[in-house]
Structures are given as C-alpha cells and as structure tokens.
Structure 1
Amino acid sequence: MTRPRPRTVRRPRTVRRTARRLAVALLALGTLAPTTAVAAPLGVPVGGSGTPFTRPILRPAHHAPDEDCPLDPALAARLDAAIEQVRQETGTPGVTVGLWLPGRGSYVRSTGVADRATGRPMTPDLNLRIGSETKTFTVTAVLELVDQGLLGLDDPIGTYLDGVPDGEHITIRQLAEMRSGLYSYTFDQDFVHALLSDPYRPFAPQELLGYAFKHDNVFPPGTQFQYSNTNTVLLGLLVEKLGRMPLRDFVQERVVAPARLGHTLFPAGNELPEPYAHGYSNQTLSGDVEDTTYWNPSWGWAAGAMISDLHDLHHWAKTLATGTLLSPATQAEREKFVPVPGFGDGAGYGLGLFRVGGWTGHNGSLPGYESVTVYLPEQDATLVILLNTDIVHDGNEPSTLFAKAVTEIATPGHVYELPAEK
C-alpha cells in the first residue's frame, strides 16, 4: 500500500490537548493526583504454579434463534432517530451500531459515510481500527500464560523484564488493572510531537517505554487508578518473552484463532484490509481535521494497534466477558473490578476490561476511529459501536454518546455512560 504524503505541519497549537487525549485514550479519565496512601496488600498468586489449564475445544458460536430477528419496528425507529441525532450533533462521518437482545431481536444499522472524499456509505461489513480494545486481547494473552502456570498475577514485572521503574514492586495484576503508577508515554510532549510530525513512522515498544521511563512514577503501585498505555506495552513484551514469539503471532494463534475471529488483525504496519472505513481526526499539530486512515498504529502496539469488524466484535464481546478462553479461576480474577472515580456505583476496571452500567467490555479510541464492544450478562445482550472519527464533542468521546443514546432506549436500567473530559 502506497503511503500517503503527510500534510505540511504548522505550528503545534494542539500538542498539549493531544497528549492528554492520547494518554487517556479511551476512558476519558483525567490524571489523578498522587497521594501518600499505602499500597494495597498483594493477593495470592493465580496460576503461578500447579497444573496448567487446558483450554476447552471451542464449538461454533450459538445464538438464540431470535437473536437475528429484527427488533420491534417502533423500538428500531427510536434507535434510528437517536443514532442519527448523535451523528449530526457530533459531526461523525459514519457509524455502525449492532445491538443483540436475545428474546427481543437484533438491530444492525450503518449511517453516514465511510469515505468523505467519495461519499461511499458506511456499511456493517467494514474493517476499522479498534484502538484500546486491543488491550482486551493483550491481557487475555497474559491470562492464558497465567493458566499455563508460566507466571502469577501478583508476580513483580521486574521478575521478567529489566529496567521498569520500581519494577520489583509493580505486579502483573497492577499493570492489567491500571494501578501501576507508571507514567503513560502518551502524556510525553516529545512523543506527541514525534508522532504528529510523522504519523506514518513506526515506533518500537522499547522506544515507547523510553518516553515513559524518563518521568517519575505518578504514585506508589496499587494506591490509585490511572489509565496508562505504558502498562499494556509492558504486558505485550511479557507475552513475547514467555510466549516465545512476537506478540502479534501469539495473539493471532492463541486468542484470535481460538475465538474464531476471521476479520480481526494485529497489523505489522499501517495496513488496513479491504473493505475499510476512512478515519478522520483533529489530533494533528495544526488542529485541522485530517484523514488518518493510514497513520501507523505501532505507537499503540499492545495497547491499541488492532483492527476488527462488527461481526467479529459481536462474538468477541461475549467471549471476553464470560471467559471462554480462560479457566474459571482466572476469569474470576479478571472480573475483580476496582472502583474508578467517575464511573458510578458498581462500576470499575478489571484486568483489561471494565464494567459500567452493568455492561462489561472495553472501548477504543485512536486518531480517526472509536469503538465500543460490551456485553450485558443480565440480559445476554451485546452492543458494538464502530465509528470513523475521534473528535470530541463538548468534552465527550462520540462513541460514549452513541452508546449512551442506544442504551437509554434499549436497556434503560443499564445505561452506558463514561465521564466527560475536564
């Protein structure tokens, strides 16, 4: 694929705003100030020794017979109107929404355009970049290593990887649940300028960590929550070391293939398989909106580089939320959701996934694309939202506004809502 010529860069009047958004990435949570609280005591290691868990043989996904039947027309019409209203208000070029409600039916709609230049419509079959939903795959890979007995969740990362600040005290669990205290490289101004000056260039994982490790840790491990892409990059390197293969190969062979996701990819570079939607972002040095389709996602790597489509994410939502690829004991550890300021009662962040409004899963955001993939155990329901912009509207990620609008109508007792940027 020919690399598009980068637009001429003007003065960096949006670098500081972009640094914040890249660091926050998908949860729209600000930096939490360090405190002097004592770190929580470590728990009992899970899977550090003993008999490795044998993954069950997976059979084709089974869905309720009525899952592919259409929703009640009146409900579908309300959803149509709400989605279009959010699309117009946020200026989103195109969006696809999939909602599966066993016992009530399903709803799949695409509206708007996939390519502003040609006017090609958004359709449900398109591939899009899924940003930090990648974390769900990377952490699943780590948890599979736990089930193999190759590591324990409460082992220090310093046992396996050298050079991590305070690595002798930061555990695998704390990395996966975003409580390590490590500075996120996406906050670093030098990183942001390097990325936006040439967004087509590749970044190596150790290069990303170099931007993070020149800063002091933000707080003692285990004492607070702060969303940091540095955590997941370290987990990716951990998978490579213990899995004895490149992360993208391990994820493909041990996570994507067993989950039977035929259109999910961990790219080597900036490739994006046909058919795909173009992405649009104002996270640029100039602040102008640009086509970011071919920006190299290697800067997100284990934390945000992957690609998928509506069909695969529909299946992945339940696989992730119910722990199909993991032992019951390890899945139980994954679902120990730590409360997060602003998330609301009963919500929180677990090991590479979150729970909000009763929905379990993750969302994703990187320049040009956003997504939400969540599962509601109480109703065996699944919601997937894919859109081709990340431009914030009144401090809110557009994906959050779409998910809130859909759930307020379809599952009013379980509304998906994340806090706005401050």
Structure 2
Amino acid sequence: MRKSSPGKRIVAVGTLVALLAATTAAPALAATADPVQQHLDVLTAQDGVPGAEAVLQDGRRTRVVRSGTGDITTGKPFPRNGSYRAGSVTKTFVAAVVLQLVAEGRVRLDAPVSRYLPGLLPDRRITVRQLLQHTSGLYNYTDDLDRSDPETLRHRGAEPAELVAMALKHPALFPPGTSWSYSNTNYIVAGMLAERVTGRALSDEIARRITRPLGLHDTYLPRRGDERLPAPHATGYVPIAGKLVDFSDFDATIAWAAGGLVSTPADLNRFYAALLSGRLLRPAELAEMQRTVPADLGVPGAGYGLGLGTIPMSCGRFWGHQGGIIGFTNLAGVGPDDRGATVVLNQNPPPAGANQHLLAATEAAVCS
C-alpha cells in the first residue's frame, strides 16, 4: 500500500508501469443486499475493471464473491480462488523470512546492510530495519522502467544486482531513518541479504520457511524465465493504447523480492492469519514487524511496519499489504476479530477510482 503522487488515493504498491487506464462503458449496477458484492460490482460495472473476486475467511467459514469476467474474450467468470500475481504482497513474505533469520541470531535488525552485503550500497548507515520499513532513502528502481510500452517488459526479466544498480544511479531521497518513502529497491536488497546469509535461493527459503509449513501449495516465487501463470487463473490485463492486453504470462523477476510472488486468495488468507497469530514468528519479531512509522498510504492514520502495512477501518485496524503488478491488483490481510480477506482485480494499472473501491470492498469484507 502506498500513496501515489499528490492525489490522496490508495494505489497498488509495486505497480511496475504507471499508464493511463482505459475507460470502459459502465452498465447499470444490479441491486444486491450483499455489501461486498455491491463494492465488487462498482469496480466492474462503474470503474470498468474486467473482473473482481473477494475471498473471505472468518474462522473456518470461507466465502467467495465474484463480479465481472475473468476473460473478456470468452466471457468466462473469474475462477474461484485462481492463481494470480500478488505484486507487493511478496514483501510481507520476504520480511517474514528476514525476521526468522533475526530470531535465529543470523541477522540483526539494526545492523548495517554492509555487514551482510559489503560494498553493495554506498551509504553504510542503511540498516536492515530501514530496508524493511522503507526508511532507507533508496531510490525506487521501478520509477526508471520504460513506461511507454509494457511489451518491452514481458520477457525482460532481471537479476537483483541489475535492479539495485538502476536505483543507485540516483542520489538518496533522504538520509537513512529520517523519513519514509516506498521503494521497491529496499526489498530487492532484502532478498539479496537473505540469500547471502542462508546460502540458498530466496524462492527456496520462502518455500522452506513459509509455504511448505503452512501448506500453501499454490504460492511460489518464480525464477528467471518462468513466465507461465498456472491454471486456473483469470486473465491479467494491462491497458495499452486504449485496449486491454493479456499480460498473464511474463517474466516477473523484474519485480523479484519486491513483487514477483504467485499465489491464490485462499493461500494469502491462510498466510496472513498464520503470520498475525504468531505461527511464523516469535512474539518479539512479530512485535517488531508491527512497530509502525507514519506512512503516506493515502489514508489518515496509516502506518508501515516491517513488510506490513496497517490502515484504520470502520470496525478497527486492518493489517496486510496491497500489491500491483502488470495485470493484477490486490489487497490482502486480516481485520478485527481475525477476519481475513483478499480482494483481486484482473487489471493493473487499474482505472481511476478503482483503488478506492478496492479498499471499500476489503472494508466491507472484514467489517460487515
């Protein structure tokens, strides 16, 4: 979750390309008493998002609400709990891996990054905590990606060091620890740190520490060249020249530890429930994860901890993360009384206003 430029609206964190959204004619909204359905219908019928799905978890009760279509060519509905690219929700997974290393005594939160990755960053004052909290001042490398033609990114992929080098061509935004600014570069570095400390690929560490223990069978971090999105999945669309183009399959290593994760809504509900109930981290590390600083997320009272955002809702606080990557936008996390929700749209960048309605749908899911 983060705020975009001057406007006060929630936008998908980690969005790789900031393009003008395509406009779509909006049919009349059907009457429904279900507030979640109402908000999803606003997203599809009013905003013009092709399809939307909310998967709600309240104890052992799971509810799936869908609107629109998963494929504008065939008219097939949004698949129930299909795979999709979760974007910056990846950051919560990476932060959890790093905090497990903290618990093992292999990483110190307030140690300089240079202790683990000597010579990578020119400012030796930047700490591990500042990476995870977005207070490092590192420039956001995705701001340098070509915004004019997403097709140039489809097969591009990248190595982590290349992405960091893109960021380091720019001066720091501020001295470390003095302000907050969302930067995907932070999590590329955090992923590199985890690999250096463990001696294993980040994708393997996420599997070993999180997805296998929790039984998240449909969640993984793709490696270079793995472009296929597993079926079933909604088609992920990006607006190009006024048309919605299928971007379901592409090399997401250009987002890697900052946003490359593939998952399903049910898996993400299970992940956030396990994380926030203490199944993945000891109380000390979970408390550090939830120690927030004020963050410019477009919502008054919002904060950001270590890979975990929090925003106030009408029934209490919501903990989780928003994510956007070419083709998909989502918001996942846990609200009051441990009610979990993941809401997915099969378009990114989304149309104007859609992010506000995504937030409204999530609030309806955890507060209704």
The answer (yes or no) to whether the contact 1:248–1:267 under 8 Å persists in 2 is: yes
> Residues 55-76 of structure 1, C-alpha deviation per residue, up to 9 Å, x if partnerless?
xxxxxxxxxxxxxxxxxxx996
Q: 1:386 to 1:148 in 2, by over 3 A?
A: same
Alpha-carbon distance in structure 1 between the residues aligned to 2:210 and 2:365: 33
Alpha-carbon distance in structure 1 between the residues aligned to 2:329 and 2:280: 25
Q: Which amino acid aligns with 2:342?
A: V
Alpha-carbon distance in structure 2 between the residues aligned to 1:410 and 1:158: 41
The answer (yes or no) to whether the contact 1:31–1:226 under 8 Å persists in 2 is: no
Aligned residue number for residue 241 of structure 1? 196
Alpha-carbon distance in structure 1 between the residues aligned to 2:54 and 2:149: 34
The total of aligned residue pairs comes to 338
Aligned residue number for residue 150 of structure 1? 106
* Shift of residue 86, structure 1, vs aligned partner: 2.4
Aligned residue number for residue 16 of structure 1? none
Alpha-carbon distance in structure 2 between the residues aligned to 1:254 and 1:76: 41
Aligned residue number for residue 390 of structure 1? 348
Q: Which amino acid aligns with 2:345?
A: L
Q: Does 1:180 align with 2:136?
A: yes
What SS does the corresponding residue of 2:70 show, helix, strand or coil?
A: strand
Alpha-carbon distance in structure 1 between the residues aligned to 2:5 and 2:73: 37
Alpha-carbon distance in structure 1 between the residues aligned to 2:324 and 2:118: 30
What SS does the corresponding residue of 2:55 show, helix, strand or coil?
A: strand
> Residues 190-246 of structure 1, C-alpha deviation per residue, up to 9 Å, x if partnerless?
x55796424212211111111111111111001111110100000000011111111
Aligned residue number for residue 25 of structure 2? none
- Bigger radius of gyration: 1
* Shift of residue 115, structure 1, vs aligned partner: 1.7
Aligned residue number for residue 21 of structure 2? none
Aligned residue number for residue 29 of structure 1? 3
Give percent identity, aligned residues only.
Answer: 33
Aligned residue number for residue 230 of structure 1? 185
Aligned residue number for residue 420 of structure 1? none
Aligned residue number for residue 161 of structure 2? 206
Alpha-carbon distance in structure 2 between the residues aligned to 1:361 and 1:271: 26
More strand by share: 2
Q: Does 1:93 align with 2:50?
A: yes
Equivalent of residue 361 in structure 1, options 306, 311, 320: 320
Alpha-carbon distance in structure 2 between the residues aligned to 1:409 and 1:260: 24
Equivalent of residue 334 in structure 2, options 369, 375, 378: 375
Q: 1:399 to 1:179 in 2, by over 3 A?
A: same
Alpha-carbon distance in structure 2 between the residues aligned to 1:78 and 1:347: 24
RMSD after superposition:
2.4
Aligned residue number for residue 111 of structure 1? 67
Q: Does 1:350 align with 2:305?
A: yes
Alpha-carbon distance in structure 2 between the residues aligned to 1:195 and 1:176: 28
* Shift of residue 272, structure 1, vs aligned partner: 1.4
Q: Which amino acid aligns with 2:343?
A: I
* Shift of residue 121, structure 1, vs aligned partner: 1.2
Q: Does 1:306 align with 2:261?
A: yes
Q: 1:106 to 1:403 in 2, by over 3 A?
A: farther
What SS does the corresponding residue of 1:317 show, helix, strand or coil?
A: helix
Equivalent of residue 338 in structure 1, options 280, 293, 305: 293
Alpha-carbon distance in structure 2 between the residues aligned to 1:76 and 1:240: 49
The answer (yes or no) to whether the contact 2:40–2:53 under 8 Å persists in 1 is: no
Alpha-carbon distance in structure 1 between the residues aligned to 2:251 and 2:278: 31
When normalised by structure 1's length, the TM-score is 0.74
The answer (yes or no) to whether the contact 1:390–1:398 under 8 Å persists in 2 is: no
Aligned residue number for residue 57 of structure 1? none
Q: 1:193 to 1:230 in 2, by over 3 A?
A: farther
Aligned residue number for residue 141 of structure 1? 97
Q: 1:215 to 1:406 in 2, by over 3 A?
A: closer
* Shift of residue 78, structure 1, vs aligned partner: 3.5
Q: 1:165 to 1:239 in 2, by over 3 A?
A: closer
1:286-297 paired onto structure 2 within 5 Å: 286=241, 288-297=243-252
* Shift of residue 392, structure 1, vs aligned partner: 3.2
What SS does the corresponding residue of 1:130 show, helix, strand or coil?
A: strand
Q: Which amino acid aligns with 1:88?
A: A
Aligned residue number for residue 87 of structure 2? 131
> Residues 130-178 of structure 1, C-alpha deviation per residue, up to 9 Å, x if partnerless?
0110111111111111111001000100111133444410000000000
Q: 1:299 to 1:339 in 2, by over 3 A?
A: same
Q: Which amino acid aligns with 2:249?
A: Y
Q: 1:289 to 1:324 in 2, by over 3 A?
A: same
Q: Which amino acid aligns with 1:228?
A: S
> Residues 312-363 of structure 1, C-alpha deviation per residue, up to 9 Å, x if partnerless?
1121121222332111111111110111135545420000010101000111
The answer (yes or no) to whether the contact 2:341–2:365 under 8 Å persists in 1 is: no
What SS does the corresponding residue of 2:210 show, helix, strand or coil?
A: helix
Pick which of 316-325 and 353-362 moved more.
316-325
Q: 1:410 to 1:205 in 2, by over 3 A?
A: closer
Pick which of 126-135 and 192-201 moved more.
192-201
Which ranges of structure 2 fall in alignment gaps of 5 or more residues?
7-30
Which ranges of structure 1 fall in alignment gaps of 5 or more residues?
1-26, 33-73, 413-422
Aligned residue number for residue 216 of structure 2? 261
